[in-house]
Amino acid sequence: MKLYYSSTSPFARKVLAVSIVTGLYDNIDRIEAAPHPIDRDVSVLAHNPLAKVPTLVTPEGLALFDSRVIAEYLDANTVAARVFPQEDGLRWKALALQSLSDGILDAALLIRYERTARPENLRWPLWQERQFDKIVSALDALESDQHAPSHAVDIGTITLGSALGYLDLRFPDFVWRSGRPKLGTWFESFARNDFLLRTAAPVPKAA
Ligand SMILES: N[C@@H](CCC(=O)N[C@@H](CS)C(=O)NCC(=O)O)C(=O)O
């Protein structure tokens, strides 16, 4: 199978991490793409009308997106561990954490595109602030006992690991660990997992 991805995409990182846990990483040809909301990558567009990564093309030629669907596909074809828990209680918790973490990433991507893709004279600071508010509320929830992540490896914790890694990569001035010691400690430990170490984005070069 072929995966259109970008080495800095947190959604692609999530599915690559899932491919490692499910034992399918070596079955995937990785094709580096250049996703962009304005300049669409035609190689991805050929398989996915949304031209977003990750996009997976199965051996049968079926194009799958988005990251949630690809993660389910890999889980259904696992030759190692599963990432979608089967037991109801654990399953809903993992799916809810995946949604919360994807929501952090959706807001972070909107800010990133506002800063890098939109012309300066068209930017709206309040838009960015409100997206940041979503991220802050989500992180505060994750610091609380009610939503604290476990150390189990599942679709929820993998997505959260990718999301926090993306905040460090693209928003180094946003000190999200401040006031959130439990979440910071969780990430310090969870980020040592092989599937996150192997999928980390290259460190950006200094300008
Ligand atoms: N919900 C999608 C989001 C994918 C996404 O936004 N990917 C970004 C790269 S991180 C992208 O392809 N952006 C190009 C665009 O917005 O057109 C998923 O879970 O895969």
pLDDT at 145: 96
**How many angstroms does the Cα of residue 50 sit away from the middle of ligand 1?**
9
**Ligand 1 cavity residues, CB under 6 Å:** 9, 11, 35-37, 51-54, 66-68, 102, 109
Above 60 in pLDDT, residue 27?
yes
Above 90 in pLDDT, residue 206?
no
Mean pLDDT (whole number) for 55-60: 98
Above 70 in pLDDT, residue 186?
yes
Name which CATH class applies to 88-197. Answer: mainly alpha
Backbone angles phi, psi at 2, to 5 degrees: -120, 135
Above 90 in pLDDT, residue 104?
yes
For residue 26, give Cα distances in angstroms to 15, 22, 207.
13, 11, 34
Nearest alpha-carbon partner for 46 in 112, 2, 12: 2
Which residues make up the CATH 3.40.30.10 domain(s) of the chain?
2-76
Q: How confident is the model at residue 207 (pLDDT cuts 50, 70, 90)?
A: low
Quote the CA–CA distance of 55 and 31 in Å, as a whole number.
10
Given the CA of residue 66, which atom of ligand 1 is nearest to it?
20
Quote the CA–CA distance of 170 and 58 in Å, as a whole number.
31
pLDDT at 203: 79
Q: Which residue's CA is minimally distant from atom 10 of ligand 1?
A: 9
CATH number of 2-76: 3.40.30.10
pLDDT at 182: 98
The full DSSP string for 178-207 is TT-HHHHHHHHHHTTSHHHHTTPPPPPPP-
Higher-confidence residue of 205 and 188: namely 188
Which residues make up the CATH 1.20.1050.10 domain(s) of the chain?
88-197
